[in-house]
Chains A and B, each alone.
Chain A
Amino acid sequence: SQTIHQWPATLVQPVGSPLSLECTVEGTSNPNLYWYRQAAGRGLQLLFYSVGIGQISSEVPQNLSASRPQDRQFILSSKKLLLSDSGFYLCAWSGGLARGNEQFFGPGTRLTVL
């Protein structure tokens, strides 16, 4: 069966510090991968998605970046965090259009920027 992992679960960082959140998927190959952010009481905002190694599409201009160094690894980064980067970050994977593009979500990372 497939599983998706995110870490860390929670993170408190000062403004201006760097960020690295990691997401890994097990039990599947060549998944589509997604990073979402969810502000308190709000819906999910798509940040990045990837259909293959080294292929990253950005949905929202921001000071965040994403990378996919391996097939089942997706990393969200920032060189300098802003207060507005605080939120709940979710990674998701899907099997592509052939499987209805149903998404499966990780447990999330709660980021607080102070």
Chain B
Amino acid sequence: KNQVEQSPQSLIILEGKNCTLQCNYTVSPFSNLRWYKQDTGRGPVSLTIMTFSENTKSNGRYTATLDADTKQSSLHITASQLSDSASYICVVGSSGGSYIPTFGRGTSLIVHP
């Protein structure tokens, strides 16, 4: 069964600090992995998308890494800002003909001033 596990479930950090969110998956065959940011009461917005051959991708202060061998990904946020407070969702797509990606339950990040 395809699964995506995210950790930690929630995280509180001070403004200006860095943090790293984790994502482990068992989706097979693997196609791509996406990180979304979801502000409270809003739809998720894509931050990065990585395929099998990519092991890192950046979007401003967000850097995602992918280790396809260990089936792990991380999202690193540098110099956090109050606006980074949101839920971060890891989503893995399969190349096995399914139109349905597998979602993690998300990590809730709170950035305090």
Contacts and interface: CB of A to CB of B under 8 A. Distances in A.
Genuine A/B complex: yes
Given A102-B46, A110-B41, A96 B99 contact: yes
A87 interface: no
B97 A108 contact: no
Contacts of B36: 105
Most B CB atoms within 10 A — which of A42, A100, A106? Answer: A100
A49 B100 CA distance: 8
A56 interface: no
Contacts of A41: 108
Contact of B43 (A43, A49, A102, A107): A107
Nearest to A92: B43
Interface in B18-43: 31-32, 34, 36, 41-43
B105 A97 contact: no
Interface of A: 32, 41-44, 46, 49, 51, 59, 88, 90, 92, 94, 96-97, 100-108, 110
11 contacts: A32-B99, A44-B89, A46-B100, A49-B100, A59-B100, A90-B43, A100-B32, A101-B32, A102-B49, A104-B46, A108-B42
